[in-house]
Amino acid sequence: MMTTADGTIDYRYLNTNTYDQRGNRLTSVSEYDENADGTIDYRSSSTNTYDQRGNQLTNGWETDNDGDGIIDYRYSNTNTYDRRGNKLTSVSETDNDGDGLLNYRSSSTNTYDQRGNQLTSVSENDDNADGTIDYRYSSTNTYDQRGNRLTGVSEIDNNGDGLLDYRYSNTNTYDQRGNQLTSASEYDENADGTIDYRYSSTNTYDQMGNQLTNVSETDTDGDGLLNYRSSNTNTYDQSGNQLTSVYEYDDNADGTIDYRQETLYEYSDGNKYVMGVSTTGELEVFADDSFDFPVNPLTEQFNLPFTVSEV
């Protein structure tokens, strides 16, 4: 409700909700009286149902855009779930003008393994609800015994002609602890069988599981030649605290490093502080204002200003 300085009500809004014992909203009704003359100018209502676990089974939405008592828009959604609560199917339908005829329909179907990892997913859109699919997306995944994703493939048909317009694939490997060793991704932008973009990363770890190295390589045009390469190398003390990190990238993968940044870590009273050294010769120290941070020898070595700021 909106009241002007003279005490006149210029706008009135009322919302009423009901809930089940779990606190899930069952119904909601909103009414707007734009000039507070007692006539409803807009009305919307929604109704929801749930299963015993609280997963939403159905959702219905209706609006009366001019308050004449005639529905101008309808939307409905229906879902199903497996015993674990993973969504199996979802169907959404829209009537844009309230004439009782559908104008849009979408659906999705998912499958899972015994651990609840998603194996497949298929989504379809029927833009004018004439029974012809106008868009289709599908994904397929595989996993190891730990639940780490080994492979993933996504495919898109943008116009529903049954021919793929886009394809993406990803392959990963892991060590016995579940740390990711390698990841490779490929994009085929028009699904003609020619890879248009490749990305790969390789990691190594110490016995504690701390990442020692990471190397990422990118082929941005799929010609088999690298266009970008970056690497990160870390060291740790015997307790697993990180001591150093060196980041390098090669903009055009010609073997020449275009940027390098070294980060040094120091510790005091269990807190971690960062001192970064870059190829620009600038040094920045991050520490709590109250911490009496000693001047690091690198500061004097590079003859750099010593600045302290809070992490």
Q: Residue 165 contacts by C-beta under 8 Å, 6 or more apart in sequence? A: 156, 157, 158, 159, 190, 191
Cα 92 versus chain centre, distance: 22
Assess if residue 7 is contained within a domain.
yes
Residue 37 lies in a domain: yes
CA distances from 168 to 78, 139, 229 (A): 29, 9, 21
Distance of CA 103 to the CA centre of its chain: 29
Range of the domain at 13: 1-49+60-71
Please report whether residue 256 resides in a domain: no
Say which DSSP state 296 is in.
P
Residue 21 inside a domain? The answer is yes
Element of type H or E holding 299: helix 297-301
Give me the number of domains the chain comprises.
1
Give a yes or no: residue 107 inside a domain. Answer: no
Instruction: Express each pLDDT in 65-92 by its tens digit.
Output: 998 999 999 999 999 999 999 999 999 9
Q: Do residues 158 and 190 lie in contact, with contact meaning Cβ atoms separated by under 8 Å?
A: no
Residues 159-172 have pLDDT tens digits of 999 999 999 999 99
Cβ neighbors of 216 (< 8 A, separation 6 or more) are 199, 200, 201, 228, 229, 230, 231
Angle ∠(60,26,31) on CA atoms, nearest 5: 70
Decide the pairing of beta strands 104-112 and 42-50.
Answer: unpaired
* pLDDT higher than threshold 60 for residue 299: no
Q: What is the pLDDT of residues 23-44, one digit of tens each?
A: 999 999 999 998 888 889 999 9
pLDDT at 290 over 70: no
Does 13 map to a domain? yes
The answer to whether residue 8 is domain-embedded is yes
Is residue 9 a part of any domain in this protein? yes
Residue with more model confidence, 223 or 9: 223
